[in-house]
Structure 1
């Protein structure tokens, strides 16, 4: 069974976004949220790698992040970083939802 490379890539992107937010503006909340959500996304990707039908963690994590960052994007109107993470999270929700429905 192949590894969930898309899920691991998403996890690394979210974690890297938190680190970049910290480096650019010394924002500890960005660092904490990025590393927390990135770690949970990595756990979800690992679970999906072990059992492709086990998408609950990945779906909950990306859905939460999609809502949070989508809200920030609509309030600020700035695509970077909130809009990008919201869009990537939407794609992950669609991927996980498709896997859940097809099993």
Structure 2
């Protein structure tokens, strides 16, 4: 009997058949998932939806979709190659600037302060990634 379990990054197989190749389905890829990036993506996208539902702001849902999509693309790229942080860094930097300015003018934590803070945390996380790993040319 051959039992296989498919997980997001790895296929694990347990074979009870003697002599079967157990290493045949060992590793599909060795990519690590950027959970912080995907969480940031969900925060941006849900913030856009929440702004639309609460106030009917089409700008909120458009910005949430645009920046959420870019953040998702960045998280996907970081998951595939941890050195490929540029889309994620640019997106979080722009959102940090826009929402930081909005927070500075309004002095309201929700939603501008929350988004600016989360974006600054992402910029810091990605900056630390740049400092820790030397770039290969």
Give TM-score, length-normalised by structure 1.
0.98
Gaps of 5+ in 2: 1-30
3-state SS of paired residue (1:3): coil
Give 5+ residue unaligned stretches, structure 1. Answer: none
Q: Please tell me whether Structure 1 or Structure 2 has the larger radius of gyration of its CA atoms.
A: 2
Q: Which has the higher helix share?
A: 1
- TM-score, length basis structure 2: 0.74
Q: What are the Cα deviations for residues 5-60 of structure 1, in whole angstroms up to 9, with x where unaligned? A: 11001001100000000000000000000111001000000000000011000000
1:93 is aligned, of 123, 126, 130, to 123
Shift of 1:101: 1.7
- Large movers: runs of 4+ above 4 Å: none
2:65 equivalent in structure 1: 35
Report the structure, 1 or 2, having the larger strand content.
Answer: 2
RMSD: 0.6
Among 35, 58, 71, the alignment partner of 2:88 is: 58
> Superposition pairs for residues 1-103 of structure 1, below 5 Å?
1-103=31-133
Alpha-carbon distance in 1 for matches of 2:64, 2:43: 9
